[in-house]
Structures are given as structure tokens and as C-alpha cells.
């Protein structure tokens, strides 16, 4: 080390520094280091800053990945919980529907001592979702009145943040798309299909006029489901076999299946069926083999077509114009069945109660139709065999839905969909 003059210069008092003081000054200079540009302390600071920046980036990435994984796990947990909420409601509803045979046998046994019980048309599917919703919420209401309320008690209802709901609808109130086994079945189905499709037209048709495009679409639906490969035609008011095969109609059309519809959505595959037409008429049809059309659940439009198509010759004019005796009678019938169903009671106990209503219509309502009761008794009924149940489960904003169709005769699922 070079001894500079400043180390041995006199102090402020004017005296020379002692040897000890000189050594202390040298030691301080050694500790301070050389005062030259490019000190390594700046490089060390830069390295420290770079390391801190890298660690901060890694820390932020780790935090983000942990956040994502945590929410994915939370969503999976909520999805599984929501699914089992919906599944639980479905199984409760199915258990109620499956008990229909037990109730029917009990009513038949009681009818031996109380004949009036034989006319009681008790259908458990109307109560299925009441019990399912009670299972979900812990409380039950009947006819708008609270029956019991166990909310807040342990082991009752779903856990906090979850819910489940249920809705049941009979398929027997819809027209069977697969009724194409005989020429008579095809004729009946054509009348239903054409009536539903043509009612959605905006243009009015003259009396007796047939919309050829709509009739062609109805025939395509029949050809899609029947077993033969012969094209159907509508001639002189009847469905007949035309010359030639079915084949695909038009570019991009799908060949007829020549087998029964498995699901209602297959109607979209029929040549000439547009998405709008499907949405307009899908609720009126079913692919499931119901026994008879249930007058307690069928729409008024469907009932009107069946009644008017089975009126005695000369009295079908009661269906013309609006309002007419048939429409007013159907409004009365709908009011009766709605009030009875609101009281947890079946709408009509038998078909004769429904048909007799039209014999008692006031004369000032117009001409009354004379119905073919023997034919209508074969086509109409008051019981539902095929029930569609839809349930929804939720957990903290995550939802799962289930749709199932149940055969009440066996209690088995004949259709299942998760969404």
C-alpha cells in the first residue's frame, strides 16, 4: 500500500499524529478499499436484482398454477356433487313411479268391498316429483299447504350450497310416431302429422285444400319409420303405396331408416324437416309405444283433431269456424281436469266421462258433434304408462341435468341422458 501524504499530515491541532493514530488511519484506508471506478459492489447488486426478479416470476407462476388447480379440483367436486343431487332426485321419483302396480292392486282389492273405488284413477307419477323435491328441500307441500318442514335439521335435505329439482311429464299425452304397423295406423298417423304441421303455416288454406309440401313431409316421416322400402303417397284422402322405392330425397338427404324411431331427435333426419318445424311440433309426438292417448294430459289441439276426425258423417261441421261447440267443450274439459289435478285428483276417471261432456253442451253453443264412441274408446285412455322425468342438481353454481323415460309397468329406464 502506498503511504500518501494525507496519512502523515499534521492534525487540525497543528501537532504530528502519533504512531497509534497513524496505524488507525492506515487500517481505515485498508478497510475502505481502493477508490477506483468499476467497483464489484455494483455487479453484486445487479446479480441480486436479477435473482429476485427470476424468483418473483417463478413464484407468480407457481401461485397461478396452484390457483388454477385448486379451482379445477373445486369444480370437479361441485360437478360430482351436483350430479349425485340430480341422480338422487331421479331415483326417488323412479321409486314412486315403480310403486304404481302396488297401488293399483290395492285399489282393485278394496273395490271388492267399495265399488266406487274402482273408478279412482290414482297415478303415482303425479306425486313422484313432490316426494323428490321434498327429499331435496326437507319440506313438503300438498295443494299449496305445508305438510311438513324439516329444514335445518341434520340429515334432511341437501347440504348447504346445493339443490335439486324434479319435473315429470307423461309421454302418453303425445302421438306415437312409431304407430306405422298397419295401413290404418299409417292413415291415423298421417292425419296427426299433417294436422300438426299444417297448423303452423302462416298462409290460410281453402276448405278441403291440401298443402302438398306439408303432406309430403308427413309421408316422409311415415316412410322413415315403416319397415318397407315402398314410398307412400296421399291419394283421394288415403295413404297408399306409390310406385317406386323411397330412396333419399334431394341433395344431402338421408336414406329412410325403415325402422322405428329410437329417439324423438331422429325426426331431424327426415327429408324436408327443417329445424324450425321440428321445434314447433316435437312436443306433440313421442317415439315410445304408449297404449292409448291420455285425455288427462294430451293437448287440446291433439284432442280436437281426434274428436273431429271421429265425428259421425254430417256432424263434422261442428268443428268448423271459431268458436264452435267442440272448442268450447274442450275448454270446459280442460278446466275440469286442471281443477281436479290441482287438488291432487285425476282429471277424468274414464273415457266415457270425457265423451259424455260433449253430449251435454248447451244448444246455443252451436251444432254438437256426434262422436264415434266405440272408436274413441279404443284410442283414448286415462292412464299413463310411459313417464319422462327430468331432474337438475346444483352445487355452488355448478349444475348437472338428467333426463330419463320410465316404463311404469316394469319400473325400468328405457331412455337415459346426462347433460
pLDDT tens readout for residues 46-58 = 888 888 888 888 8
Instruction: Determine the pLDDT at residue 190.
Output: 87
Instruction: Determine the pLDDT at residue 404.
Output: 94
Mean pLDDT of the chain: 81
Domain residue ranges of the chain, discontinuous segments joined by +? 1-33, 74-173+386-418, 175-289
pLDDT tens, 67-85? 888 888 888 999 999 999 9
What predicted TM-score, i.e. pTM, was given to this entire model? 0.73
pLDDT tens, 254-300? 778 888 898 888 999 888 888 888 888 888 889 987 778 889 888 88
Using alpha carbons, select from 353, 337, 354 the residue that is nearest to residue 345. Answer: 337
Q: pLDDT category, 417, cuts 50, 70, 90?
A: very high
Long-range contacts of 190-195 (CB under 8 A, 24+ apart): 190/215, 190/218, 190/219, 190/222, 190/234, 190/239, 191/305, 191/309, 192/284, 192/302, 192/305, 193/217, 193/218, 193/221, 193/222, 194/218, 195/301, 195/305
Q: Say which range, 169-173, 203-207, 404-408, has the weakest mean pLDDT.
A: 203-207
Instruction: Determine the pLDDT at residue 259.
Output: 87
> How large is the average pLDDT for residues 243-257?
62
pLDDT tens, 150-180? 777 766 777 777 889 999 988 888 888 988 8
Query: Which CATH number applies to 175-289?
Result: 1.10.40.60
Instruction: Determine the pLDDT at residue 155.
Output: 67
Amino acid at each position: 500500500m502506498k503511504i500518501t501524504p494525507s496519512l502523515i499530515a499534521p492534525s487540525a491541532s497543528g501537532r504530528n499524529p502519533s504512531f497509534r493514530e497513524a496505524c488507525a488511519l492506515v487500517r481505515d484506508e485498508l478497510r475502505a478499499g481502493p477508490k477506483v471506478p468499476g467497483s464489484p459492489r455494483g455487479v453484486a447488486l445487479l446479480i441480486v436484482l436479477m435473482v429476485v426478479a427470476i424468483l418473483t416470476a417463478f413464484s407468480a407462476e407457481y401461485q397461478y398454477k396452484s390457483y388454477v388447480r385448486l379451482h379445477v379440483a373445486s369444480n370437479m367436486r361441485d360437478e360430482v356433487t351436483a350430479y349425485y343431487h340430480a341422480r338422487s332426485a331421479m331415483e326417488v321419483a323412479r321409486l314412486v313411479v315403480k310403486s304404481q302396480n302396488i297401488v293399483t292392486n290395492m285399489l282393485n282389492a278394496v273395490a271388492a268391498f267399495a265399488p266406487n273405488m274402482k273408478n279412482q284413477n290414482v297415478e303415482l307419477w303425479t306425486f313422484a316429483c313432490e316426494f323428490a323435491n321434498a327429499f331435496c328441500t326437507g319440506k313438503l307441500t300438498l295443494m299449496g299447504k305445508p305438510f311438513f318442514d324439516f329444514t335445518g335439521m341434520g340429515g334432511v335435505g341437501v347440504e348447504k350450497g346445493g339443490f335439486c329439482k324434479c319435473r315429470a311429464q307423461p309421454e302418453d299425452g303425445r302421438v306415437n310416431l312409431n304407430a306405422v304397423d298397419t295401413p290404418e295406423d299409417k292413415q291415423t298417423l298421417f292425419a296427426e302429422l299433417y294436422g300438426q304441421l299444417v297448423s303452423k303455416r302462416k298462409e290460410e288454406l281453402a276448405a278441403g285444400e291440401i298443402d302438398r309440401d306439408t303432406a309430403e313431409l308427413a309421408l316422409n316421416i311415415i316412410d322413415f319409420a315403416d319397415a318397407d322400402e315402398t314410398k307412400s303417397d296421399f291419394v283421394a284422402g288415403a295413404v297408399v303405396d306409390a310406385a317406386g322405392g323411397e330412396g333419399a330425397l334431394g341433395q344431402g338427404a338421408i336414406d329412410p331408416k325403415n325402422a322405428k324411431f329410437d329417439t324423438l331427435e331422429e325426426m331431424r333426419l327426415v327429408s324436408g324437416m327443417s329445424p324450425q318445424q321440428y321445434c314447433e311440433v316435437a312436443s306433440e309426438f313421442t317415439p315410445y309405444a304408449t297404449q292409448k292417448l291420455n285425455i288427462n294430459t294430451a293437448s287440446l289441439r291433439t284432442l280436437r283433431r281426434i274428436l273431429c276426425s271421429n265425428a259421425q258423417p254430417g256432424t263434422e261441421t261442428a268443428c268448423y269456424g271459431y268458436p264452435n261447440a267442440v272448442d268450447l267443450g274442450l275448454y270446459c274439459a280442460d278446466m275440469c281436469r286442471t281443477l281436479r289435478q290441482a287438488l291432487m285428483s285425476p282429471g277424468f276417471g274414464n273415457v266415457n266421462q270425457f265423451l259424455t261432456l260433449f253430449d251435454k253442451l248447451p244448444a246455443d253453443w252451436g251444432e254438437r258433434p256426434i262422436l264415434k264412441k266405440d272408436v274413441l274408446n279404443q284410442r283414448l285412455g286415462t292412464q299413463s304408462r310411459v313417464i319422462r322425468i327430468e331432474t337438475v342438481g346444483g352445487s355452488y353454481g355448478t349444475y348437472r341435468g338428467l333426463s330419463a323415460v320410465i316404463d311404469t309397468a316394469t319400473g325400468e329406464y328405457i331412455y337415459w341422458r346426462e347433460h
